[in-house]
């Protein structure tokens, strides 16, 4: 039962060398460091290519230290990256300026092409930074880091429960889909998808009832509105060194650009 649909969700877990220095960093250090890379890439002017290069090098170094290979990065990035790039791919066609080339029915402009390249670089750097955070830090640790950084506790709780029960709900949805298929449900026309609406309703009611039961189970073990932590986070020297190294490399490059 537990293995029904878990392969795609397993992509959210850590990968690479789990004992690497990067994996062992405090989640706050990784959130700050990788967020800094993203922010620098996003705010850099279109033509400042050396900054993008430095960002890419920092990410490559982190990936190498963590033992997360290009294949693993691609396996995760492919879900996000194409969506971002599809939006940007029209820029060379509409943004005029510089040289122009005829490409069948379209005209490609030089300025547009430059902007596209820069947007693609920003998107790629941001995505890979997020992928590296997810590959070196478990989702619960990321949440604990965010909580320690004073994100609203309610949002953290919602994200934590969503992550925990996603697996349960995906299993339930899989079973209901199997039950529909077992009774010959193969929608051919739009009118037949009504059954899916009823499945969605049933899913909602089940999820709602489960929410009630989970809350009762929490109360039964003395829950009083505050999630207790087993081991407190510790921001040590290695974490400081990591954040400092990232900032010292990127901030001057960004300022000089």
Partner 1 sequence: MSCAVHAKRLSYSYPNGQPALRDLELHIEHGERVAVLGPNGAGKTTFMLHLNGLVMGDGNLEVAGVDVGPKTLAELRRRVGLVFQDPDDQLFMPTAREDVAFGPLNMGLEGAEVERRVAEALRSVRMEPVADRAPYQLSMGERRRVAIATVLAMRPSLLVLDEPSANLDPRARRELIDILAQIERTMLLTTHDLPLAAELCERAVILAGGTIVADAPCHEILADATLLAAHDLELPGGFDLDLVVPRPRPGQPTTMSVPE
Residues at the interface with partner 1 (CB under 8 A): 1-2, 6, 138-140, 160-161, 163-165, 167-168, 210, 213-214, 216-224, 228-230
Give min distance, CB of 232 to partner 1, in A: 9
The answer to whether the beta carbons of residues 25 and 242 sit under 8 Å apart is yes
Distance CA 232, CA 155 (A): 20
46 or 167: CB nearest partner 1: 167
162 or 241: CB nearest partner 1: 162
105 or 228: CB nearest partner 1: 228
Give min distance, CB of 223 to partner 1, in A: 6
Distance CA 114, CA 120 (A): 10
Give min distance, CB of 235 to partner 1, in A: 19
182 or 230: CB nearest partner 1: 230
Residue (of 34, 57, 62, 40) closest to 253 by Cα position = 40
Distance CA 44, CA 16 (A): 30
Give min distance, CB of 245 to partner 1, in A: 29
102 or 212: CB nearest partner 1: 212
Give min distance, CB of 33 to partner 1, in A: 23
Give min distance, CB of 213 to partner 1, in A: 4
**DSSP assignment string, 3-57:** TSSHHHHGGGS--S-TTSTTTTS-HHHHHHHHHHHHHHHHHS-TT-HHHHHHHHH
The answer to whether the beta carbons of residues 88 and 120 sit under 8 Å apart is yes
Distance CA 3, CA 17 (A): 24
Distance CA 102, CA 99 (A): 10
Q: Which two tokens stand for residue 199?
A: 């499945």
Query: Measured between alpha carbons, how far is residue 248 from residues 19, 21, 25, 33 in Å?
Result: 26, 19, 18, 11
139 or 235: CB nearest partner 1: 139
4 or 84: CB nearest partner 1: 4
Give min distance, CB of 148 to partner 1, in A: 16
Distance CA 224, CA 215 (A): 11
Q: Which two tokens stand for residue 14?
A: 């850590």
């Amino acid at each position: 039962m537990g293995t029904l649909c878990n392969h795609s969700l397993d992509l959210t877990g850590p990968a690479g060398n789990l004992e690497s220095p990067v994996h062992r960093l405090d989640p706050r250090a990784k959130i700050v460091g990788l967020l800094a890379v993203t922010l620098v890439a996003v705010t850099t002017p279109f033509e400042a290519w050396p900054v993008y290069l430095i960002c890419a090098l920092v990410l490559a170094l982190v990936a190498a230290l963590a033992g997360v290979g290009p294949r693993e990065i691609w396996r995760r990035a492919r879900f996000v990256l194409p969506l971002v790039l599809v939006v940007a791919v029209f820029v060379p066609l509409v943004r005029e300026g510089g040289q122009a080339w005829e490409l069948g029915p379209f005209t490609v402009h030089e300025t547009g092409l430059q902007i596209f390249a820069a947007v693609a670089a920003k998107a790629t750097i941001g995505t890979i930074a997020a992928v590296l955070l997810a590959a070196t830090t478990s989702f619960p640790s990321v949440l604990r880091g965010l909580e320690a950084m004073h994100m609203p506790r309610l949002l953290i709780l919602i994200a934590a429960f969503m992550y925990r029960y996603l697996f349960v709900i995906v299993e339930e949805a899989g079973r209901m889909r199997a039950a529909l298929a077992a009774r010959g449900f193969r929608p051919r026309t739009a009118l037949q998808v009504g059954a899916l609406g009823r499945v969605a309703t049933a899913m909602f009611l089940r999820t709602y009832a489960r929410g009630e039961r989970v809350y009762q189970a929490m109360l039964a073990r003395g829950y009083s509105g505050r999630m207790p932590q087993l081991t407190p986070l510790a921001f040590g020297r290695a974490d400081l060194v990591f954040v400092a190294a990232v900032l010292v490399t990127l901030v001057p490059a960004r300022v000089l650009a």
